[in-house]
Amino acid sequence: MGNQYVDSRTIFNSIVSYEENSLSGLNGFILLIHIGTDPRRADKFYLYLSELIKELKSRGYRFVRINELLPLWGKVGMGVKK
């Protein structure tokens, strides 16, 4: 895993921080998570997904499939946050 290893809590916090500090929040944000993770990684990020989804839904976000998101790309507000 080397010196680029970032623990799952740090990844979670960076997503929430980005949402708080970006002018457009997470509108149009695409989060790619690999299902297979390095077996040496003790803290699997997918275990944080439920918490992340609950947090973002509480902030007014909804989740859409990529084919629903891409036609909205470039439009004002992106239509993703309520």
Q: For residue 73, what pLDDT is reported?
A: 60
For the chain, the three-class secondary structure string (H helix, E strand, C coil) is: CHHHCCCHHHHHHHHHHHHHHCCCCCCCCCCCCCCCCCCCCCCCHHHHHHHHHHHHHHCCECCCCHHHHHHHCCCCCCCCEC
Q: Is 62 contained in some domain?
A: yes
- Structural domains counted in the chain: 1
pLDDT of residue 16: 96
Q: How many CA atoms lie within 13 A of 33 on its CB side?
A: 14
Within-domain flag for 41: yes
For residue 59, being part of any structural domain is answered with yes
Whether residue 22 is contained in a domain is answered as yes
Question: What does R_g of the chain's alpha carbons equal in angstroms?
Answer: 14
* Whole-structure pTM value: 0.72
Residue-level pLDDT, tens digit, the chain, 82 residues: 667 788 889 999 999 999 999 988 998 788 887 766 778 788 888 889 999 999 999 999 988 888 887 776 655 455 455 5
